[in-house]
């Protein structure tokens, strides 16, 4: 029995060679590697934006605290005064919880969001995150 060239080419086109499969897997691996590299940068940006929103939310909560009590929390009371009623002076007269959980006081890297009372009169404050490195420097998020 004689095989025609059409039947040989039909048999050869039914499957992939090992080299073709390895090349396809290499291309897929390169694409996945490039995608993961891009996602790492996106994650950092997303965490920074989330932190900025948390900081702004805490500023608003501090303003509500001040409106209800006539003063901001002291440095010692800190942001915790938004979660639990302070027991040390000055104890707020009309305290209402301004945040829902402990997690509200942490940045996405697990570090506590910082609260600093400005001046001796306690009329101003800073709220900020130390950022990914957890160290106070130029990378902090206000």
Give residue-wise pLDDT tens across range 77-98.
999 999 999 999 999 988 999 9
Structurally, at CATH architecture level, domain 20-128 sits in 2-Layer Sandwich (3.30)
pLDDT at 2 over 60: no
Q: Which two tokens stand for residue 27?
A: 């291309």
Cα–Cα distances in Å, from 130 out to 29, 46, 57, 71, 134? 36, 16, 17, 25, 5
Cα–Cα distance, 64 to 24 (Å, whole number):
59
What pLDDT is attached to residue 33? 76
Question: Among 28-42, 81-95, 106-120, which stretch is predicted with the lowest mean pLDDT?
Answer: 28-42
Q: Dihedral sign, CA of 127, 132, 136, 138?
A: negative
Give the predicted TM-score (pTM) of the model: 0.69
What pLDDT is attached to residue 139? 75
Domain residue ranges in the chain: 20-128
The residues that bridge with 39 in the sheet, in sequence order, are none
Residue with tokens 């490195």, as numbered in its chain: 133
With CA atoms as reference, report the closest residue to 65 among 77, 80, 51, 82: 82
pLDDT band at 6 (very low <50, low <70, confident <90, very high): low
Give residue-wise pLDDT tens across range 49-61.
999 999 999 999 9
Cα–Cα distances in Å, from 52 out to 44, 46, 73, 130, 140? 13, 10, 21, 11, 10
What pLDDT is attached to residue 132? 84
Q: Which two tokens stand for residue 8?
A: 């040989």
């Amino acid at each position: 029995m004689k095989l025609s060239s059409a039947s040989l080419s039909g048999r050869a086109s039914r499957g992939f060679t090992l080299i073709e499969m390895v090349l396809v897997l290499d291309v897929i691996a390169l694409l996945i590697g490039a995608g993961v590299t891009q996602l790492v940068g996106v994650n950092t940006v997303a965490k920074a934006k989330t932190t900025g929103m948390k900081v702004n939310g805490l500023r608003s909560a501090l303003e509500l605290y001040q409106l209800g009590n006539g003063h901001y929390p002291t440095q010692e009371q800190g942001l915790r005064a938004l979660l639990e009623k302070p027991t040390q002076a000055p104890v707020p007269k009309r305290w209402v919880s301004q945040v829902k959980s402990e997690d509200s006081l942490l940045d996405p890297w697990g570090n506590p969001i910082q609260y600093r009372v400005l001046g001796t009169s306690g009329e101003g404050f800073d709220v900020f995150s130390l950022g990914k490195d957890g160290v106070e420097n130029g990378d902090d998020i206000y």
